[in-house]
Each structure stands twice: as structure tokens, then as C-alpha cells.
Chains A and B, each alone.
Chain A
């Protein structure tokens, strides 16, 4: 048998470890580049004017992203409405019925739903809401984002509730508490931290979505709170301004990116805090 000297093997081992570490660490590079570029270019743009004013016509200085910020929040609210009640109940369903044909099919549907590209969901919202309604609207954008948020909420609910021990449930039922109340008032609150984290993560995900809004929410240069009318959002603004040839608009896009990233990362941090603070240990 050919003998590879022990020195070579040790050397190979050290080299491999070094290589692995270097390659792993280099994945930090893009992240830092992105955050650095956005902060460097975007932070100078952020001021009260930027955050509170409406966009100006092409070529005119000034202008802000107030309608985009509000639009994003409004769309998040709509998507929350569509996905959270249904999502929590579906999550409860999956955690209560671990076996069973419907549970299996539902679980499969959710996994498939999660993998659907966001632009396909945008098309669905267009076909289901925009076309019958006859106009673009915040509602259709909310529907699209709601469909995208559903799997996140359901999976978080299911995972969290699975961790709640059966003894809790049985104790409650044994005391005569009705099944519905047991679930809603005993089990759900025990898993609240996980569910809230799931919701927050879902929000973080849909806050940054652009593709499904391209032909549903449509965008608007005005402030709008009416769900039947088109609405602007931060990612749409970034897309429109970044792909334009005007340097002023590029700068605005950096500022908007900064706001969006701060929002998304902030949500991620809050999620961690929620998990730590509200988690019920068993």
C-alpha cells in the first residue's frame, strides 16, 4: 500500500482547514460591501425632508419617499390581515393533526407555496384581483404579499406549537376547559414567541418584495391610503430610481435602500429579542 507520510497528511489537514476558513470568511465580503455601499451613499440623503416629502417630477431637486414608506407599511398591514388569521389557524391544524391525509396534503401545499417565485404570485394576484376589479390597487398588492407571507406564518406556528408539551394540553382539558379555549388561551400563548417571530420574519420578507407589486400595487407619486387605488412602496421606488439614468434619482435610491435595509434588519433584531424575552421554557 502506498504510504503517504504523516507529515503530508497533517499538512493537508491544516491546509484544508485554512482553506475552508478563508472561503467561509470571504462570504462576509459581499455582505459588508453591500451594507457599506448603502450606508455610505444613503446616509447622507436621509433627512427629515427626505422622509416626509413626496417625490418630485423628473429633473427637479428635492423630493422624498414619504409615500413609499407609508405605502410599504400599509401593504404590510394588508398582508398581515390576509395571512395571519388564516395562517395561525392552519398552523394549529397542522400541529393538532400530525398524521392524516388532509394534514399531509396541506403540509405539501404549504411547502410548494413557499417555493413559488414571487413574480408568479404577482401574476396570480393580477388575474384574481386586478383584472376583475378593473384597476391596480393596494388591495391586490396586499393579496400577493399575503400569499407570500402565509407559508412563513404557518410553518412558524406549526413548529412552535409542536414544541408545546402535550401535558399542558391534557391538563387544560382535564380541568374542563373546552377544546377551542384550550387551544386559543393556553397553547397559543405558550407558543406566542415563536408565532410572533414567524410573523415578524414574514413581514421582513414581504417588505422587500418588488416583483409581485409591479403589476398589482403599480406605484404612485402620491400619498394614498385607499386600498382600492394604486400605492407606492419602498422596493418599487428603489427599482424605478436605480434603473433610471438620473444621478439625483440614484442618490434617492440609495437613501431608500438604507431605510429599507434598516427596517428589515431591525425586524430581524426585534425577532431575536422577542424569541429570547417571550419564550416559554418547558
Chain B
């Protein structure tokens, strides 16, 4: 006798069979629980979005669109324009992306094409994983003590004011941090290029370089692009490593060596002491902008990956 089944009701007037158990719960309830779990996630996300909007409403109402394009961030006078931070964020992130591509694209090609397996491949992959696992504050610490003096020496050599900190330094740190993200998807799409395409080219006498250039890269282009987008999303929101080396100046940066600030960094600096609710609302407004921008970029990246996988 199976003790699990206490009674089995098979009513003839109903089309369904409801099984009841001594312990535990019917399938319907359990499925409801699962549904609830899924719904909770959705509600969580919406709650986050609406909390940000509501909390930043005073600032948005006061400044409107000029919040985004205003050049002055003046807590004394209550003028809050985020342009300097937008520019700082975009400058540091795009420069970081550019610098990291110089390394992450070769990594993708190496791991996807030249060294698909074997010791070298495992080694490289472990290194990349390690890079991704290092906490952001340690990157900042390292950047502060190693990169800043190096950049200072560079600036002295170039005749620029030797501050060491600035947008350039922060993009260097960011570049190292996003290498794993920029290279991971690229590696996968490159390795998934159908061999018959490659072999066809090789049999026509192409060198490996030409196969990569003319067959693999065009085929994997959107995947690589998606990886780039994901890396960009990561770079835009990075806080700690940036705030430690960017110089924290709330002005429009004049050159890549100027100090500046990113949206995330200014929130970290000024949040605990925003005196006045307009100040606080403005900072939360920055968080809202960050939220929207990173969401769009991430969703775009995932959409591209989806399109690629359905294409195959």
C-alpha cells in the first residue's frame, strides 16, 4: 500500500481527477507557488523602477529636460544639471570599450578559433574568469596605487598637468574590468561558426587569417557586437573603481586627462550628505537615468543574441 496516497477521488461528474495526498500539496497549489515566485520577480523590478521615479519626481518636475543637459551642478544654489556626469560617463565608458576591444577581440579569436581546447585554452579561460571575479573596489585600489602614478608619469612626459587621476585613468581601469564581458560572447559566437563555411573557404586556398577576416568575423559580427553592448552596460554602471581614480570634479571635462565624474561616482560621493530633498531627488534622478540607460543597452544586447540563436 502506498502511504503517499490517502485517497483517490475519481468523481464521475467532473472531468478532472483530483489527487489528494496526506502530506504535501496538490499540483495546483504548488504550481500557484511557482507562479507566485515568478510574479514576485516581475513585481520587484517594477517596484524598483517606480521607487526611483517617485523619489526623483521633485527634481524632474523642477528641472524637466534641463536636468539632463544642464551644465551646472551647484548644490549651494540648488541648480542640478547632469550634463557633466553624462559626458564623464560616456567618455570613460566608450574609451574603456575602445581600449578593451584591442584586447578582447584577439582573446575571442584566440579562444574561439586558434585555441579551442587544450591547456592554453583552459589557462586563458581561467585568467579571464579571474579577471571577472576580482571585486571592483580592489580594481580601484590597484588603479589608485599602480595606474595613477603611471599616468602621472605619462602626463609629465606629455607636458600635461600631472594629476594622475582623471577620465583617462578611469577608462584604463574600466577597460581591464570589462575585458571578460566583451570577450565572452565573442568567443562563443566565433566558436559556433559552422565548420562547413570555414572549410569551404580553406579549400579554396584562403589562409587562416583570411578565413577569419572574411568568413568568421562577418558571421559572428552581431554576437561580438552584443558582447560589446553588454560590456558597455557594465562600464556605465561601474562605481567604486571609477570613483577612486576619476578625480571627482563636477565639471565638464576638457580633455581625456581632465578629472571628471560619472553618474555612478557622483551618487556614491554625495548621497549620504545630500542636504535638502531637492539634492537627494536629483541624485536619485541620476540613478533613474543610469537604470534606464543600462536597461536599454542590456535588453538590446540580449535581443541581438536571441536573434542570432534563432537564425542558426
A242 cross-chain contacts in B, Cβ below 8 A:
137, 140-141, 144-145, 244
Interface flag for A115 (CB, 8 Å): yes
Contact B176 A211 (CB under 8 A): no
Contact B272 A215 (CB under 8 A): yes
A97 cross-chain contacts in B, Cβ below 8 A:
34, 38
B210 cross-chain contacts in A, Cβ below 8 A:
9, 13
Q: How many residues of B contact A (CB 8 A)?
A: 86
- What separation, in Å, do the CA atoms of A26 and B175 have in the docked complex? 13
**A88 smallest CB distance to B (angstroms):** 9
Interface flag for B192 (CB, 8 Å): no
Contact B37 A210 (CB under 8 A): no
Interface flag for B2 (CB, 8 Å): yes
Contact B52 A86 (CB under 8 A): no
**A143 smallest CB distance to B (angstroms):** 11
Contact A210 B237 (CB under 8 A): no
Interface size class of A (residues with CB under 8 A): 35 or more
Interface flag for B42 (CB, 8 Å): yes
B124 cross-chain contacts in A, Cβ below 8 A:
24
- What separation, in Å, do the CA atoms of A218 and B280 have in the docked complex? 17
Q: Which of A128, A147, A211 contacts B264 (CB 8 A)?
A: A211
**B57 smallest CB distance to A (angstroms):** 13
- What separation, in Å, do the CA atoms of A109 and B114 have in the docked complex? 37
The answer to whether residues A89 and B37 also contact, given A109-B42, A179-B27, A242-B244 and a CB cut-off of 8 A, is yes
Contact A150 B41 (CB under 8 A): yes
- Chain A, residues 1-42, CB within 8 Å of chain B (1/0): the string is 000000001101100110111011011101101100110000
Interface flag for B154 (CB, 8 Å): no
- What separation, in Å, do the CA atoms of A238 and B128 have in the docked complex? 24
Closest 7 CB pairs of A and B: A208-B135, A117-B237, A115-B298, A89-B37, A13-B207, A23-B106, A180-B30
* 17 CB < 8 A contacts A-B: A27-B131, A31-B134, A93-B34, A96-B34, A102-B39, A117-B290, A124-B51, A127-B55, A178-B25, A183-B30, A210-B239, A211-B268, A215-B272, A235-B135, A239-B141, A243-B244, A265-B133
